[in-house]
Chain A
Amino acid sequence: MTFRLPLYNRVALLMAMAAAIAAVVLPFLGFAPNRLLSGRPVPLWAAVQGPGGLAILPGLVLLATPFLRPTRIGLGLTVAAGGLFAAGLVWLAGHHATELAQGASAAARTSFASGFWVMAAAGLLTAVDAARWMGLGAVGRLAVGGAVAGLVALQLATGHLDALSILKEYANRRDVFADAVLRHAMLVAAALVPTLLVGIPLGVAAHRFQAVGRAVFPVLNVVQTVPSIALFGLLMAPLAALGALLPGSGISGVGPLPAVIALTLYSLLPIVRNTAVGLDGVPAPVREAARGMGLTPRQIFLRVDLPLALPVFLSGLRITVVQAVGLAAVAALIGAGGLGAIMFQGLFANALDLVLLGAVPVILLAVAGDALLSIGIAAATSHIGLSPGRNAP
């Protein structure tokens, strides 16, 4: 008698297979006597020996998820298994790094290796996909992501991960790191203020007068095309010249000023464009009805145009924020500081953990900004139906 497993979720099967292969073939961690030597690979089977191995028990559930019925319970279990597997891998890495650190010199380093990344990604993607199948909205999916992030944050806070190389690197540079995060966020915020002050009125003007759009968009498009590093470079010379002309003004070709100027120039396009497109998208009959009922132009703008254009505007803001977080990292090359400075310092000094310490928080900042604004967009859209255009004939 043969028994055939019913396969319900081919995505989960693919992910489970990827994780299983990575678990066997790829190194889970890398262990090096110090930060300059390249490490020896630590396979997963070496790390799971002992009671600590229980942490990746959700991985066994993950192997079973392809065969779970896609009911709410089955999918919920899949989401939980994927998320807990990823968090469990982090826990196991921290746990095993601590074990390896005993009996090794203080300079010894344990870092995540490719097997960890593949397995963690497989777990997270399984969870995300199952969450989609469950019909969770943007906010629900963010909650799942937040829960996994919370589990990892908890391990960070309790010091469980302190033996990992990226955290050793962090411990060495605690003050610099905190300053860098703050500086990074400040650069983005400093660019956002002039962007919004100029971009929103410009967007409104481009919506009202075609000529404004025809004049502004080609210029902003070209700016967007110019690579960031080139724009930083091209801003250096005129700013340096200006600084020489006005001694004591604090203007200089390097540092945060050219960074903020360049970031602002890049940020303008999504803001101006989405403000204009959002306003263009307000259905003409809605405006006509508002006028016909006796709303004043001001009331029409505030009560009709603004709320209806808000979702499109917010997605422009989301693009701007995500883009600016990345560009601010590049700005470290012209001395603007921030997380990019740590990242490039690592690259120039061939210190890979330092690269991680700079690059990972940059990604986290971008993802966090994206997530926050997604919630805002979901809230702003929830009342409008699928799109503001739905009410048009």
Chain B
Amino acid sequence: MTVAGMAPREFLTDRLMLGLVALVALVLGMPSLKPLFATLYPGLDRPLYEAESFVRLTLDHMALVSLSSLAAILLGGGAGIAVTRPWGREFRGLLETVATMGQTFPPVAVLALAVPVMGFGPEPALIALTLYALLPVVENTVAGLDGVSPAVLDSARGLGMGPAEVLFKVELPLAAPVILAGVRTAVIINVGTAAIASTVGAKTLGLPIIVGLNGSNQAYVIQGALIVAALAVVIDAGFDRMAGWLTRWSRR
């Protein structure tokens, strides 16, 4: 379903479109809300966060999340595929254990622990986010590939497909909705963790919040929080839409 093909009313009730409009309006229009914040918080000298533009922060935030998620999809997806092949089966238990145990580690603690190893800056954030995002991706890749019915695999092989064809034409498309769900979990967690990553020196949308909290500037906190929240909701709605496409197509 394309935007152009949408009836006006449909467009107005669409969570993704509404969220996207709200997000763009917040990011671009925040400076024009300065008078409003000035009225709400008359005691503040600077009612608007202006050290960095919200556009810049939003793009950096999204870059951090996209890079770490992409790395996690490649590494985690690859590992998930590897341990479901006959030659990698021995490592499956280990990988599943790591994925399950790792997810009990709070993301904020993983982020903090990256600092003693990596120092401050965007790098430890990138590493921590990638590591954490790996876990749900691995877990769901294995579960998704596992869920493909043996009968389907059997008939694919019976039709003369080689291992690679079976993987790319049958297994991955059928497992896609489950894998996507893992990616969604990872990305949503990462949007939040990337905000906290401002405490380890990554410039993200968490920065106004942290600066505002440390300097008792509630206006900064609200500005950062509104945009991060909108970003997370939009991304989640986007995944919802993708899941809809995938399931329609794979008829699960």
By a beta-carbon cutoff of 8 Å, the part of chain A in contact with chain B is: 9-11, 14, 111, 114, 125, 128-129, 132-133, 221-222, 225-234, 236-237, 240, 253, 322-323, 325-327, 329-330, 333-334, 340, 343-344, 346-348, 350, 352, 355-356, 358-360, 362-363, 366-367, 370
Q: Is the CB of A329 within 8 A of B108?
A: yes
Q: Is the CB of A362 within 8 A of B232?
A: no
- Give B73 Cβ to nearest chain A Cβ, in Å: 20
Q: Is the CB of A352 within 8 A of B116?
A: yes
Q: Which residues does chain A contribute within 8 Å of B228, judged by CB atoms?
A: 226-227, 229-230
Q: Which residues does chain A contribute within 8 Å of B199, judged by CB atoms?
A: 333, 344, 347-348
- Chain B, 17-55, CB within 8 A of any chain A CB: none
User: Chain A's interface: helix, strand, loop or mixed, by majority?
Assistant: helix
- Give A138 Cβ to nearest chain B Cβ, in Å: 11
Q: Is the CB of A359 within 8 A of B195?
A: no
- Give B29 Cβ to nearest chain A Cβ, in Å: 18
Q: Is the CB of A234 within 8 A of B112?
A: no
Q: Which residues does chain A contribute within 8 Å of B12, judged by CB atoms?
A: none
Chain B CB within 10 Å — which of A129, A240, A253, A359 has the most?
A: A359
- Give A40 Cβ to nearest chain B Cβ, in Å: 16
**Residue of chain A at shortest CB distance from B223:** A233
How far is A362 from B196 in the complex, measured between Cα atoms in Å?
A: 16
Q: Which residues does chain B contribute within 8 Å of A355, judged by CB atoms?
A: 112-113, 115-116
Q: Is the CB of B116 within 8 A of A230?
A: no
With A226-B233, A237-B222 as contacts: A10 and B109 at CB distance below 8 Å: no
Partner of A363 from the list B109, B193, B206 (CB cut-off 8 Å) is B109
Q: Is the CB of A230 within 8 A of B225?
A: yes
Size of interface on B: residues with Cβ below 8 Å to A? 45
- Chain B, 91-127, CB within 8 A of any chain A CB: 91, 93-94, 97-98, 101, 103-109, 112-113, 115-117, 120
* B229 interface hit (Cβ, 8 Å): yes
Q: Is the CB of B192 within 8 A of A228?
A: yes
With A227-B229, A229-B225, A253-B218 as contacts: A330 and B116 at CB distance below 8 Å: no
**Residue of chain B at shortest CB distance from A335:** B213
Q: Which residues does chain B contribute within 8 Å of A350, judged by CB atoms?
A: 120
Fill in one digit per residue for B213-241: 1 if any A CB lies within 8 Å of its CB, else 0. 11000100110111011001100100000
Q: Is the CB of A330 within 8 A of B97?
A: no
With A11-B94, A236-B221, A352-B116 as contacts: A227 and B192 at CB distance below 8 Å: yes
Q: Is the CB of A226 within 8 A of B93?
A: no
Q: Which residues does chain A contribute within 8 Å of B224, judged by CB atoms?
A: 230, 233
With A333-B210, A367-B104 as contacts: A125 and B112 at CB distance below 8 Å: no
**Residue of chain B at shortest CB distance from A128:** B97
**Residue of chain A at shortest CB distance from B120:** A350
* B172 interface hit (Cβ, 8 Å): no
* B161 interface hit (Cβ, 8 Å): no
**Residue of chain B at shortest CB distance from A322:** B104
* B178 interface hit (Cβ, 8 Å): no
Q: Is the CB of B106 within 8 A of A125?
A: no
How far is A359 from B115 in the complex, measured between Cα atoms in Å?
A: 11
Across the A-B interface, the 4 shortest Cβ-Cβ residue pairs? A326-B106, A227-B192, A233-B225, A230-B225
How far is A31 from B126 in the complex, measured between Cα atoms in Å?
A: 27
- Give A352 Cβ to nearest chain B Cβ, in Å: 4
18 other contacts beyond A237-B218, A330-B108, with CB at 8 A cut-off? A225-B236, A226-B229, A227-B195, A229-B192, A233-B225, A234-B222, A234-B225, A236-B218, A237-B222, A322-B103, A325-B106, A334-B213, A347-B199, A348-B199, A352-B116, A362-B109, A363-B106, A366-B109
With A227-B195, A233-B225 as contacts: A125 and B97 at CB distance below 8 Å: yes
How far is A14 from B192 in the complex, measured between Cα atoms in Å?
A: 34
* B188 interface hit (Cβ, 8 Å): yes
- Give A228 Cβ to nearest chain B Cβ, in Å: 6
- Give B195 Cβ to nearest chain A Cβ, in Å: 5
- Give B196 Cβ to nearest chain A Cβ, in Å: 6
Q: Is the CB of B104 within 8 A of A125?
A: no
- Give B239 Cβ to nearest chain A Cβ, in Å: 10
* B90 interface hit (Cβ, 8 Å): yes
* B200 interface hit (Cβ, 8 Å): yes
With A129-B97, A226-B233 as contacts: A114 and B117 at CB distance below 8 Å: yes
